[in-house]
Amino acid sequence: MVKFCPKCNNIMLPKEDNLVCTVCGFEEELEKTESYELKEKLETKQEIVVIEDVNTLPTTRIECPNCGNMEVYWWLQQTRCADEPETRFYKCTKCGHTWREYD
């Protein structure tokens, strides 16, 4: 059962043998028949997956500005606002040089 402060209507939390308002500090004695348990919900963080194995990426024929190789891996990533186009990334299959192109 949740108890709210009679003065400011904010939640009251158990502290020793009292309920204490988290905002105004109002205290009320706990009735012996009541039991309160303080629980905290922790958010779980999502893991960001980084693709290390570039062999799973698609390839296309574009000249690498570093070595002149004509085969590169490519992928798209949203790097700016959602209403702007995605950024194209390229990585040379020969020398590993990475660059990007914007629309």
Binding residues: 5, 8, 21, 24, 64, 67, 92, 95
Query: Alpha-carbon distance 85 to 64, whole Å?
Result: 23
Instruction: Indicate if 31 belongs to the active site.
Output: no
DSSP-assigned states of every residue in 34-100 = -------PPPPPPPPP----GGGS-EE----TTT--S-EEEEEE--S-TTSPPEEEEEETTT--EEE
Question: Binding site residues for Zn(2+), as ranges?
Answer: 5, 8, 21, 24, 64, 67, 92, 95
Instruction: Indicate if 83 belongs to the active site.
Output: yes
Active-site choice (40, 53, 83, 103) = 83
Dihedral pair phi/psi, residue 54, rounded to 5°: -70, -10
Active-site choice (34, 71, 84, 86) = 84
Q: Catalytic site residues?
A: 83-84
